[in-house]
Copies of this chain bind each other. A is one copy, B any other.
Amino acid sequence: MSDFAARLTDGVRRHGPLCVGIDPHPGMVPALFGGDTAKGLEYWGRALVEAAAGKVAVIKPQAGFFERLGPGGMAALAAITRAARDAGLLVLMDAKRGDIGSTAEGYAEAYLSPGASFEADALTVNPYMGLDTLEPFAKRAEAGGKGIVVLVRTSNPGAADFQMLETGGKPLYMHIAEALRPLTERLMSPCGWSNLMMVVGATAPEEARRVRVAAPKALFLVPGYGAQGAAADAACAGLIGGEGGVVSASRSVIFPKAAEGARTRDDWQAAIEAAILAARNELQAAALA
């Protein structure tokens, strides 16, 4: 069985770095699918999976948008995740979990263990509580060919509050990137990239280059392209020769203007596919530039 890094690298070679974010913002799921209900989210998410399959390597569901609808919303998340993996898409679960010892094991089991309801290919995790809190996720990654995606430098304005604090002559996010080096090496894939991925926001391309120097073998998950304002070339700043990470886009590809007036399933799907292909082509060109 190939591991996460190998599967992702293979997919990015074929489709480019676009990662489709499945972010069901409240009130934005079309009435066509059932609107803002657990079932609506499920049908809409399954339709997005159909539209994305064969065009991109990976999707990224945002757990918070499903959790807000309770256990039913979480069931929708599980169904979409399963449908995506069945369709040959990789699933990068964006849940930003993090806790100590046995609780972290609970989250790792939920998202990274074979056969779990929410089984994904990789999971985003928060490093604030320390390296020991990443260990249960790392163990699951090693055992099951999964990936872990650690928050390093995020794309929101408030990222500067703590991530940019100077400590020992460098900002905190750089300290974290360097502290992750042993784990990045431990999770190295035969494909040449590590199964440890880092979140490095597209809104900070200079910082992405800096993290890239400190972590040459870590895959990057780059949020912030599209609706959050970053251009394709800035988003691809940390990639190397079209490899080494993915760039996520959400609102611009799942809620494109052209889909707003769609009255039929076919019109909707055509609008989504066009938006995905446009973003895919723009990013693929930028990644290879």
Contact = CB atoms under 8 A, between A and B. Distances in A.
Interface of A: 23, 25-26, 62, 64-72, 74-75, 78, 94, 96-107, 109-110, 116-118, 126-133, 151, 154-163, 165-168, 172, 175-176, 179
Given A71-B72, A96-B98, 11 more contacts: A26-B109, A64-B97, A69-B110, A71-B78, A72-B117, A96-B126, A98-B126, A129-B159, A130-B154, A130-B162, A166-B168
Copies of this protein chain in the complex:
2
Contacts of A78: 70-71
B154 A129 contact: yes
A158 B172 contact: no
A67 to B, nearest CB: 4
A275 B106 CA distance: 25
Contacts of A167: 165-167, 172
A133 B158 contact: yes
25 contacts: A26-B102, A64-B99, A64-B103, A64-B106, A68-B107, A68-B110, A70-B74, A70-B78, A71-B71, A71-B72, A71-B78, A96-B98, A98-B126, A100-B156, A128-B128, A129-B159, A129-B163, A130-B156, A130-B161, A130-B163, A132-B158, A132-B161, A133-B156, A165-B172, A165-B175
A128 B74 contact: no
A179 B161 contact: yes
B172 A107 contact: no
Given A110-B67, A127-B128, A162 B158 contact: no
A76 to B, nearest CB: 9
B101 A156 contact: yes
A287 to B, nearest CB: 24
Contact of A162 (B102, B106, B176): B176
Nearest to A65: B106
Contact of A129 (B107, B158, B168): B158
A200 to B, nearest CB: 13
B71 A75 contact: yes
Contact of A70 (B26, B66, B117): B117
